[in-house]
Amino acid sequence: MLFETMKTLLTGQYQASLWMLHRCIEQCPETAWDQPVANLKFCQAAFHALFFTDYYLCASPANFKLQPFHQQHAAEFCDYEEMEVREQKLTYDRSFLRSYGQHCRAKAIDVIQQESAESLTAACGFAPKTFSRAELHVYNIRHIQHHAAQLSLRLRLDFDDDISWLGTGWKEA
């Protein structure tokens, strides 16, 4: 019972945080798309959040670049600059980020559905992180929400546009 509750909780929170990120992507005016949000452009910050959501949802780092979505969008992933400590150069169009968001939402549902009690308590497998796979999911959700908060604050301050809060669930808007 507790295990199923945990899976439901994780699925709901992934969907809610990804929904909020989706709303930021949708509501960002064209004039702000390539403007700074902290140390990245708006589109780069949105991509960064999706990129690491996708990465940490993998069973292991080795599976990341082999995904069909990555193969189909090789030009957008290019040299995987996100994996290195360097200034991000690539920018991303809204339609790609919409597709990537859909990929991440579907992947989150599939991955959580496949988790077992054993897999959630096992080591996450993403060095240098030393916590469990369950904690990796919580870490991942917190990361999404961190960047959704940055993006929504930018929209609020610059355009008086509010991203509505969602506790759980995600509905196509």
45: domain CATH number is 1.20.120.450
Q: What is the pTM of this model?
A: 0.94
Structure tokens at 72: 């189909």
User: How confident is the model over 76-115, as pLDDT tens digits?
Assistant: 999 999 999 888 999 999 999 999 999 999 999 999 999 9
Amino acid at 114: Q
Do the beta carbons of residue 131 and residue 124 sit within 8 Å?
Answer: yes
Residue 165 lies in a domain: no
* 68 upstream amide cis, omega within 30 of 0: no
Query: Does residue 170 belong to any structural domain of this protein?
Result: no
Q: Whole-angstrom Cα distance, residue 43 to residue 24?
A: 10
Domain residues for the domain of 28 are 2-159
Residue 171 in domain: no
Q: Is residue 44 part of a domain?
A: yes
pLDDT digits (tens, 9 = 90+) for 18-69: 999 999 999 999 999 999 999 999 999 999 999 999 999 999 999 999 999 9
3-state secondary structure of 45: helix
- Positive or negative: CA dihedral 58, 62, 63, 67: positive
Per-residue pLDDT tens for 108-152? 999 999 999 999 999 999 999 999 999 999 999 999 999 999 999
**Helical H segments across 28-171, by residue range:** 42-57, 68-72, 74-77, 94-114, 117-121, 133-159
31 lies in a domain?
A: yes
Number of domains in the chain: 1
Q: Give domain status of residue 172, yes or no.
A: no
Residue 164 lies in a domain: no
